[in-house]
Amino acid sequence: MQPIIKVPTLSELAYESIKAQILSCKIRPGERINIDQYSESLGVSTTPVREALSKLQQEGLVQYIPRTGWKISRISKQEFRKLQELKSLLEITLAERALPFIKPDNIPQMVLLNNEMKELFKPCSDGKPDLEKLLEANDRFHMYIFKFYDNDIMIEILQQTWNNLRYARLIWISSEEFLNNFYEEHNEIIAAIKDKDSSALRRAVEKHLRCGLGYMEACLEDK
């Protein structure tokens, strides 16, 4: 019996096309979306494009403004930097405070999670890794470490911060710098944990937090 091959719908094709352009910064935050132009370039009617935009709106990537139309969601540098500062403080603190509670037999799971993320880096049919799955795998790796420190409130605040930065983090994780370095940087974090070296762990986490930020900053709005 031949496997069933799922053929993507026109709205799914439009969704993937527009999303790829957003995450690659080919269309920038704040830029208007011309539905007729996209319909023509994709060779579809306006209906699939509108359906795609509705889905992207749910993900926070686009927004509809009455009497103006569709626009790529803006990310202000000021807002991003405030949230990024909070994210960094939480991730560094949680990693350091989790360290005493991590046992040697927990290390293999970290290695496994990092290897699973590396497997996702393999390009999909369109030549690019699935950024959403990659981001989810990245978060599983880090959250596995953080949860060794028993403070649910800090974990919840970090998760909410991640959620607030989701669009920005998808752009961040698409950078060549991140894609080329995340695996080894995660290994540096694992090595510091294995050695119970808090100073090395802090340096490794701080280094990882800086990875890809230059690309991310270039995609932000000055407002």
Name the strand (E) or helix (H) holding 64. strand 62-65
Q: Does 121 have pLDDT greater than 90?
A: no
Domain-located, residue 159: yes
Q: Are residues 97 and 198 in the same domain?
A: yes
Domain-located, residue 129: yes
Q: Does 187 have pLDDT greater than 70?
A: yes
Q: What is the CATH number of the domain that holds 67?
A: 1.10.10.10
Q: Does 132 have pLDDT greater than 80?
A: yes
Q: Are residues 53 and 90 in the same domain?
A: no
CA distance 179 to 211: 9
Q: Are residues 124 and 206 in the same domain?
A: yes
Total domains, the chain: 2
Q: Are residues 44 and 101 in the same domain?
A: no
At 48-88, the pLDDT tens digits run 999 999 999 888 788 888 988 999 887 778 888 899 999 99
Query: Residue 43 class from Cβ within 10 Å (0-12 exposed, 13-18 middle, 19+ buried)?
Result: exposed
**Residue 191 identity (one-letter amino acid):** A
Q: Are residues 114 and 215 in the same domain?
A: yes
Could you list the residue range(s) of the whole structural domain that residue 66 is in?
Answer: 10-72
Domain-located, residue 91: yes
CA 52-22-40 angle, to 5 degrees, is 55
pLDDT band at 221 (very low <50, low <70, confident <90, very high): low
Domain-located, residue 206: yes
At 17-34, the pLDDT tens digits run 888 888 766 787 788 988
Q: Are residues 141 and 116 in the same domain?
A: yes
> Structure pTM?
0.75
Q: Are residues 112 and 126 in the same domain?
A: yes
CA 58-10-35 angle, to 5 degrees, is 65
Q: Are residues 135 and 153 in the same domain?
A: yes
141 versus 120: the higher-pLDDT residue is 141
CA distance 109 to 114: 9
> What would the mean pLDDT of 40-51 be, rounded to a whole number?
91
Domain-located, residue 2: no
